[in-house]
Structure 1
Amino acid sequence: MEITFVQANEAARGAVVSVPGILLKISERARGVPLVGQTVKVADGSFLVGLSGHEADGARNVQLLKQRPWFDIPIFYASQRRGILAVEKGYRGEQMFREAMTKWERAQ
């Protein structure tokens, strides 16, 4: 997965310097479960999330991606502040994930 942040020059918190991972959860207020993998910074504001290639981790990640409707993306800013970007898949997002997972599973 690729995550890129574009922000205005006057952003009070400064640039996003770290995204330690992605959490999936069953509701907006629920505690998230992390995907197994690693995130690396590839450029200013741009991060690449690589998911684990181990069989058990992969099966767990796929299950979380299929079943959990919410993502939490923790963010660390240059100002030493932190935040969380919470995203709900929604109806269309769920459809897109089902389609992508079906294609991916066929390719395996």
Structure 2
Amino acid sequence: MKWRAEPIVSIDGKEYGWGRVGAGMRIIINLTKTDGAANGSLLALAISAKAGQVVGEISTELIGIDSNEVSMAMPFTVDLSEGNIQRVIEALAVVKAKLYDSTTTLTPNLIARIDCAPMAKN
């Protein structure tokens, strides 16, 4: 994910705080542990999936990226298996490379609102 902090301001000038604006790939994992503990890294999750300790699904979302190569590399929603986790890691590498490619169109999106101190008045 490539982002920067930007002020969130309404068209009438009301300030709402700060937001992360950018482009990248979001990974969403829905899982159920069947045995043991699941670690937070994708590689550890792949090992747990191979051992049958977790079941579920993994999905990806492109945010603000328009590139044929990236779209073709995306696994979108698939079952949580070692092979599919590997595909997600490979797609992440493609996204990272294409973020800086001149043929990729980036359209920054509001990714998250940042909780922080109030905006300073000029």
Scaled by the length of structure 2, what TM-score is found? 0.26
Larger Rg: 2
Scaled by the length of structure 1, what TM-score is found? 0.28
Q: Which has the higher strand share?
A: 2
